[in-house]
Each structure stands twice: as C-alpha cells, then as structure tokens.
Structure 1
Amino acid sequence: MLKRILYLFFTFTLLSVNTHAQEVTEEDYTHQLDSIEQLFTYRHDTVELANGIGRIIVPDGFRYLDADQSEKVLVELWGNPWYEGMTLGMILPENQGVMSDSGYVFNIEYNEIGYVKDGDAGDIDYDDLLKDMQDETAAGNKQRTDAGYEPISIIGWAASPFYDKDRKILHWAKEVQFGDNPEHTLNYNVRVLGRKGVLVLNAVGSMSSYGQVEQDLAHVLNIVQFNDGYRYGDFNPSVDEVASWTIGGLVAGKVLAKAGFFAVILKFWKFIAIGVVALVRIFWSRIRGKKANDGGEGTAIPEQLT
C-alpha cells in the first residue's frame, strides 16, 4: 500500500512537470508526507506480544505502531533491507510521526536466544569492543556495497554501555554514518533480559535526537513486562537453554548475525527524504535549464530521466 502511494506521488510529480510546470517545493513534499502519515493507525493501550512472552505498556506521551505497519515503515519507507518478520512494532512520542524528519522511534524485537548469563558485565573493556565492532562493520561494507547499499561507519559510542544488574537491563548508544552523509544516525540500544531470550528496544533517529531519547529513556525502560515463566528469575538450569552470547556479545551485535549485518544498524528515514528532495530539486533545475536552452515554453523531460 505504501509503495503504491509513493509511486502515485512521484508519478503525479512528473505529470505536473509536463502539464503545469509547477515547481515542486520542499513544502509540497512535506505536505505529501503528512498525507502518508495519516494512513497509520496508532494504539495507546497495553500491547500483548506474540507467543505469550509478555506485554508492552504504552506510557503517557507515547504511542504504538503495530508490527505489520512498522515493517512497512522499516523496509519500504526507511530503506532497511531484509527486515521482514523481525519487528514487533514501534514506540514513539505522541507528538511525532514515523514520517517526521526529526525525533526518533523505538523499534521492538524479541530474540529467543536463550538465557543470557551476565557474569561478564563488569569485566568488559568497551573501548576494545568498540574497535572490534568498527573493524567488523568496515569488513562487512564490501558485502553491502556489492548488494547495492551504502557503506556504514560506526563513529563511536554516543553513550557507553551500562548494565543494570538488578533490573537486568542493558543499554548503550552508537553514533553511525551511512555513506558519506554528514548527518549521522543515532542507534540507542536497550536489551531487557528474560528467561528464554532478550527483548530488544532500538531507538533510531538523527544524532540531534540524542538528548530527547536520553530524556525519555526512563519512561521507555518501564514499558516491558515479561509474563510469568518468561522472566529472568524464572530460569531453570535443568531445562532451559543458555545463550551462546553474554553481555559483551549483545553489545557487539552477535545476536543478529543470523539476520545478516543489515539488521545490526537501523537507518532513520530522514536520510531517504533528504535524498528525494535533492533529486526533485535537481530534476527541476534540469527542466529550467532545458527550457532556457530551447528558448521556449516547453517542459520536455531530460533524456536521462525519461
């Protein structure tokens, strides 16, 4: 549905060039994005997660977008490839939409990897771990570019990893660059440890949203409730599977290896929007240049865009 809407929008834009020669401004584009935003349906209540693992309690000042709609956002609108079937939905501030070019969203996942032992939490050198992550990401860039996607660089920690042993919650933040884009991406990661796996909350936005995410984090950390039998303290060593990864592995992203390196770092939609707006501007500059060269009133489309 969303692909169809975007297709119709850009088709309409091209037809407008040929018939009315009306310049598509950034304000016009923003209006179209607002129209797309109206297609989404949000919830404000308690959300039961799949397979009975627990629930998400949507706090005041936030809203929830379900898994089906969130997948369309991640894959079709934001350009995160191969993300089908992974999201359980999104939590975002009430006054913000998924098509906003600022702010952030928390994407929700559940990784049923088993019981994660946390004995290494106090022994990890996170500077060394960061260097390993940077090297592994750089090595994976050839695979990304060969597949037609831009390379990724991990710039550094936006917030160093912190593990709350009492609450069994791990969180940290990375500053990321996609391609050569001067505006960097924020990935603020939260892992809530359970008996059979880890509930993942991954805030994605531009780096300018870091202060807002940090301010809202206390509210978000309280939204997860595992059901009886799925809590970390319910672990039974006689029957339960122990995860191959400990706290360090969660931070390094080893859990997501089965989904490919594409899933480790999420791209925020704003970078797509900037590119499209720039493309529209280039398109129009070419149209105006063509008209000037012809000395006429026509609006012929340049050959490379036909």
Structure 2
Amino acid sequence: MTNAYRLLLSAALLSLAAPALAKGEAPPSPQEQQKAVAEFKASLHPRTGVIALPEAKARLNLGQGYVFYGPEDSRRVLVDAWGNPADAADGVLGMVFPAGGDFSNSWGAVVTFEDTGHITDKDAASQDYAAVLKDMQEATENANEERVKAGYGRMHLAGWAQAPTYDANRKVLVWARDLAAEGEPEHSLNYDVRSLGRTGVLSLNMVDGMSRLPVVKAAAGDLGQTVQFDAGARYADFVPGTDAEAEYGLAGLVAAGAGLAAAKKVGLIGILLAFGKKFAVLVAVAFGGAWRWLKGRFGKGDDADGQLQD
C-alpha cells in the first residue's frame, strides 16, 4: 500500500470496517468514498499564484503548478480528513499541494513560520549530520513511550531519506527522514525545506510515502525556490548586535525538526517530544480518524448542510 498514512485509502477503510460490520453497519462503498472526498475538496478554497504570508514577512510564488489552502482549510485537512489531533494545526499558515492533486492522493506541504532568531550558517560545511542522526534516532526511541500514552503507535527513525544539504546562495536547508511507524506496511517520508530569513525560518514540511521519494524530492527543490522574504526580512538584512540570534546553528535546526526557538534550552529529547505531537503525528496518524470522518458524512450524525460533526 502506498502512502500508508493517508486516511482515505480504501484498504485502510476496509480494515476499519470490521468492528462496524460486527455491529451490522455497512462500510461506505467506493462510490460513496469518492463522493465524500469530492464534496470535501469542493468545500475548500484553493489559491494559486503569489501567496502572501504576512506572519512570516514572506511570500510564495507558486504560479499555476501548485495550490495553496489557507489556515482554516488546512485545519480541516489536517484534523478532519487526516485525523490529527486539533493542536497539529496550531500555527499552520497553510498547506501546499501539487495542482491537480489533493489531500488524499498526493504529497502535502505544511507551511509554518518559527521566530527562531537569526540562524548563522557560517559553520555550514562543518556540521556533523551523522552524529545528529544518531542522537535523533535515540531520542525518537525514548519518545515512543509518550507517543503510546498519547494513543499513537511507536515510531522509528530508519535514517536519512536525504542527508541535510544547504544552498548557501538561496539560504535553504533541505533534509528528509525515513520514518517507520509500527503496523504500517510502508515507511513514511518526512521531507523538510527550511528557508532562512532575517530573524526566523519559513518551514515547508512535506509528508508522503517512501515509494514517492523521487517525486517529493523534485517538488521540494522547486518549492524551496518559491519562497521570497519581504524587503527588510531577508537573511541579508540581519543587523548584528540589534536583531535576536538563535542559540543554535543548522545542525540544531535539523534536530529541532521545525526550527523550535528553544532547541538548545529544551534539549534534543524534549524537542522531539514537543514536535511529536504537532509534526510526527502527521505521518503516523490513527486510521480511526478516517472511519469516523466517513461515518460522519454518511451516518445519522450529518447535519442539514453536510458539515462534519465532532
């Protein structure tokens, strides 16, 4: 099964149907599933072209090749469709998908901005990412107890799907993690694109299945070029001695996973525990969310205008 974490895949839905069938409830047919997805997609508000992100003092020059969904639509995709806890959508500025695709059959990029302070790249060439990976793997294992308590399966960091690489000209750091969630037949791909600004980092966190690595890798390289900070907010606009500076460099940014400002203070294990609730969950969501969502669409819990019920 490709993209195992996708909550709208038929195989996952069928596997969840067993408890319902035991109670005499019929699972939704493929036609009903398709109708639900089509209705949900039609209720969203995709945008193309230049997307202003005032919170980040930046913009995305997406052209016609990508579509952007704003914060409210993104919350519905992340929480209602993908089954993440509500706080997974906190602070999300939007999501980007390839044009012609959607939240159920293609990668999605979660857009956030972290006010990290200025991150120096002076030591970019000397970063020991092998050591960072080892520490992250250990911390991921240590965080599994908390994941289980929160109701999610164990997660294992298998390794880099792409080792961290830094474009010094564009000020873009890219890396990808190969994540194995227990009980899932395919490893998940978590692809990170970080564009450095004057005092913060714009993050595009892409999720998909490992089988689609070539597709996501190409898209990540392209998306990194769409980011443009406003005049005065660019990396080159940094004013030493005046602007706040991060307490870590590029390796700390990778370890944090999404540019957590308190990375050095919290410590690596604390970082992964904190982000495990917001980001790692995106690639290890509970499949039960799909069944609840589709039952809400077809069951007696629907309201008059077809909105989702809690």
Measure how far apart 1:44 and its partner are: 0.8
Moved more, 225-234 or 213-222: 213-222
AA partner of residue 48 (structure 1): A
Over aligned residues, Cα RMSD in angstroms?
A: 2.9
Per the TM alignment, residue 193 of structure 1 is displaced from its structure 2 partner at its CA by: 0.5
> Tell me, what secondary structure is at the counterpart of 1:68?
helix
1:86 to 84, 87, 91: 91
Deviation of 1:117 after TM superposition, in Å, equals 0.9
The answer for the alignment partner of 2:277 in structure 1 is: 262
Residue number among 46, 67, 85 corresponding to 2:71 in the alignment: 67
Candidates 34, 37, 40, aligned match of 1:36: 40
Name the count of aligned residue pairs.
262
Matched, 1:128 2:143: no
Shift of 1:143: 1.0
Which has the larger Rg? 1
For normalisation by structure 1, the TM-score amounts to 0.77
Match of 1:147 in 2: 150
Partner of 1:54: 58
Contact 1:67–1:89 (8 Å) recurs in 2? yes
State the 1:59 CA deviation. Answer: 2.5
Q: What CA deviation, in whole Å up to 9, does each residue of 1:149-196 have, x standing for no partner?
A: 222111111111101112111001111122321111111101100111
- Among all aligned residue pairs of Structure 1 and Structure 2, give the percentage whose two residues are the same amino acid: 32
Q: Whose relative contact order is higher, 1 or 2, with alpha carbons under 8 Å and at least 6 apart?
A: 2
TM-aligned CA deviation for residue 221 of structure 1: 1.5
Cα pair 2:68 2:95 within 8 Å, conserved: yes
Q: Is 1:114 aligned to residue 129 of structure 2? A: no
Going from structure 1 to structure 2, the CA distance change for 1:143 and 1:23 (only over 3 Å counts) comes to closer
How far off its partner does 1:76 sit? 3.0
Answer yes or no: is 1:226 the counterpart of 2:229: yes
Q: Are the equivalent residues in 1 in contact too, given 2:187–2:209 (CA < 8 A)? A: yes
Residue in structure 2 matched with residue 45 of structure 1 by the alignment: 49
Q: 1:84 Cα deviation (Å)?
A: 3.5
Listed as ranges, the gaps of 5+ residues in structure 2 are 1-15, 261-270, 296-310
* SS of corresponding position for 1:115: coil
- The answer to which of 194-203 and 144-153 deviates more is 144-153
Gaps of 5+ in 1: 1-9, 281-306
- Normalised by the length of structure 2, the TM-score is 0.76
Q: Supply the distance in 1 between the matched residues of 2:229 and 2:201 (Cα, whole angstroms).
A: 10
In 1, Cα distance between equivalents of 2:62 and 2:162:
25
Q: Does 1:247 align with 2:250?
A: yes
Give the Cα–Cα distance (whole angstroms) in 2 for the partners of residues 87 and 190 of structure 1: 15
The answer (yes or no) to whether the contact 1:34–1:99 under 8 Å persists in 2 is: no
Map of 2:8 onto structure 1: none
Taking the aligned partners of 2:285 and 2:247, their CA distance within structure 1 comes to 36
CA distance in 1, matches of 2:82, 2:284: 4
Aligned pair in 2 of structure 1 residues 223, 273: CA closer, same or farther (>3 Å)? farther
